[in-house]
Amino acid sequence: MTTRRELIEHLGSHLTEHKRDKIRAVLAERTRHITVLLEDINQPHNAAACLRSCDCFGLQDVHVVERRHPFEPDNDVALGSNKWLTIHRYHQPESALETLKARGYCLVATSPNVEGDTTATLPIDQPIALLFGSEHKGLTDRLFGAAERTLRLPMHGFTESFNISVTLAIALSRLVERLRESDLDWRLTEAEKEELTLKFYRRHIARHDLLEEEFWKGRGEMTNDEFPF
């Protein structure tokens, strides 16, 4: 059986060396040690700005709860960042909580009104999922009550809170910096890098499906409906 690695090499031959090097460099700095959950974000520019920050700070996964509002990021703001993230969508918060807990995340609710950890004191030895609520109401009681810790950003003005996308960016900036300075094994596994390399190559190559069909059929190993990856 031909391996996925050989398929990656085949598709990679249709990309420039610069693009292959860029994908390799990005994946070398990606992490799943920190993830984000966004609940009912109803403003497209905020949704997009959150995704853009997640990509820029090297997060791979974003979890989105769309119970009341569809998650529709503004493409002009996102600048394609959604193409490089793994976005998990849920209609109910319970499904998101079940997934995050099963993957070993410590659930951290963000709130300007509750005393809790700051970005300097929040423990990062365990994978953490930062929970962000809607622009006006914040996290619902269901998600806030499920959190094991809370995170706040100190503020010194009259305004009650930062915009959600600003809160996310500040929190990630400080926490990712701490993570990268630590001795924790925060990077992706080689298997995860390989899986995402294939995904990213497909994103770059128009009609990659035709190249893959040619690849598999040339080896006589399977039919068009049996591609394994």
Residues 6+ apart with CB under 8 A from 146: 93, 97, 107
Mean pLDDT by runs of 10 across the 229 residues of the chain is 81 94 98 97 93 98 93 91 96 96 96 84 97 87 95 82 91 98 97 96 90 80 57
Domain ranges in the chain are 4-25+190-219, 31-181
Query: Which superfamily, per CATH, for 31-181?
Result: SPOUT methyltransferase, trefoil knot domain (3.40.1280.10)
How far is it, in rounded angstroms, from Cα 37 to Cα 88?
A: 9
Give the per-residue pLDDT at 229. 65
Q: How many Å separate Cα 64 from the centre of its chain?
A: 10
Give the per-residue pLDDT at 228. 62
Whether the full predicted model's pTM is greater than 0.75, yes or no, is yes
Give the per-residue pLDDT at 37. 98
| Distances in whole angstroms, Cα of residue 158 to Cα of each of 14, 46, 133, 138 | 55, 22, 21, 19
